[in-house]
Structure 1
Amino acid sequence: MNYQIIIKRVDTVNELEGYWSDEDLIHLLEKFNYPDGATAEKKNLPELLEMAISDYEPNEAAEIVLTYKLSEELNEGQIQQISHNMLIDKVCEEYPEIHLQGRLFHTNQLLFKAYNGKFPNAKASVVHFSMTPDEDKTAKVLTKENVLKLLNNGLSDRNLIKRLFDDQISQNIPFPEAEGIIWELKTDDNVNYTLVTSENWINNEDLISSEFESILEEIIEEV
């Protein structure tokens, strides 16, 4: 199916509001030995957590937050290693398990704010765009995989996704990594979309055209 794609804008952000719920903040306060989070005013929770975190050594704080978010998928040794590496590198951009990079980004930025820059400052991209099928076609809900394949024609050859996954993004074969590359994909009408990803995956310079056409082919599943 042929689609008309329009890139409306790309916002570069240091954090994504609403990721950490009040419940998350209260649980984290408990883990940082601040037991009164449940009775505190909701608007004060972020500031209280930043103060509680700053009482710990950076790598210790990183280990606590990582354990809270990723203990079901990473073992103690992996978490300890990441907690040390986070002070040196943008682990959220380099970690080989792509599906964990989004959560690592949110953890990194929470710690970046609490320690006034001791952690590297990672950034996310919020891409606002539309994907409109041919006039005689009804718009369907596009998956993350669909969206990346349709964006291919508008991305520079220098784009990291194209360099690492050229076959997957340009051919009608499965692209399972898309689920981890795009952290959020939202639409209210199946035409206008917003996606959230790392600036490392897509940034303003990667998008070489604001309007272009792409064809979405049916994926041929590998046998």
Structure 2
Amino acid sequence: MMNYQIVIQNIDTVNEIEGYWSDEDFIALLEKFNYPDGATAEKSSLPELLEMAISDYEPNEAAQIVLHYKLGDQLSEGQIHQISNDMLIDKVCEEYPEIHMQGTLFHVNQLLFKAYNGKFPNAKASIVHFSMTPNDGEPQKLTAENVLKLLNNGLSDRNLIKRLFENQISQNIPFPEADSIVWDLKTDDDTNYDLVTSENWINKEDINESEFESILEEAEDVV
């Protein structure tokens, strides 16, 4: 087991994660929205061209096209149809029961939110900036599961992860859902981290303590 000193420096609340959609994505989507000249367009103008191309379609039609592009291999036609209608009313990306799809649904939702100037609900993401320093020994690269377990001591009891996964986050048992809750985890030095997740999972109000200690236990093998 290892004792860590944790400092939560800041939580940024954002409407989109920069760099999620690549130029290739924009060009492929432009083609699906009947704009075949994306490949020859200025790279910097691709997001704007796509917004214009999308807005020529009915919102639920556009949602179906983008959902097909991103999740067509995981969702049936019926599910895509259902989600495309639900997205106009609810933040599906926060409520969808398959939590490994929530991150992708967030990015789809926000692309459509921008293109239609607000016809879709505005969902938000959190970028949590923090450091995790072992009290003795060298820093090691931490997984999403390690990080959530170490953050547990600083989270309020109202936090959704704590409420839904109380045993997994607080006990030395596997927490496979951590990889779906944490959309992205970056570190250059295995000490300072940036974690991307839904505002629904972690937001500014969820932080009880900005500096605290936590113990990371070696995972026990499940027989």
| TM-score computed with the length of structure 2 as normaliser | 0.99
How far residue 66 of structure 1 moved from its aligned partner, in angstroms, is 0.3
Q: Which residue of 1 aligns with 2:219?
A: 219
After superposition, give the CA deviation of every residue in 1:76-124 in whole Å (9 maximum; x if it has no partner): 1111110000000000000011111000000000000000000000000
Q: Distance between the aligned counterparts of 2:195 and 2:75, measured in 1?
A: 26
Q: Which residue of 1 aligns with 2:51?
A: 50
One-letter amino acid of the structure 2 residue matched with residue 39 of structure 1 = T
How far residue 221 of structure 1 moved from its aligned partner, in angstroms, is 3.3
SS, match of residue 10 in structure 1: strand
Q: Distance between the aligned counterparts of 2:37 and 2:190, measured in 1?
A: 44
Q: How does 1:1-223 map to 2 (within 5 A)?
A: 1-135=2-136, 137-223=137-223
Aligned residue-pair number: 222
Gaps of 5+ in 2: none
How far residue 219 of structure 1 moved from its aligned partner, in angstroms, is 1.6
What is the RMSD computed on CA atoms of the aligned residues?
0.6
Q: Distance between the aligned counterparts of 2:115 and 2:107, measured in 1?
A: 13
How far residue 36 of structure 1 moved from its aligned partner, in angstroms, is 0.4
SS, match of residue 36 in structure 1: helix
SS, match of residue 185 in structure 2: strand
Gaps of 5+ in 1: none
One-letter amino acid of the structure 1 residue matched with residue 83 of structure 2 = I
How far residue 134 of structure 1 moved from its aligned partner, in angstroms, is 1.4
| TM-score computed with the length of structure 1 as normaliser | 0.99
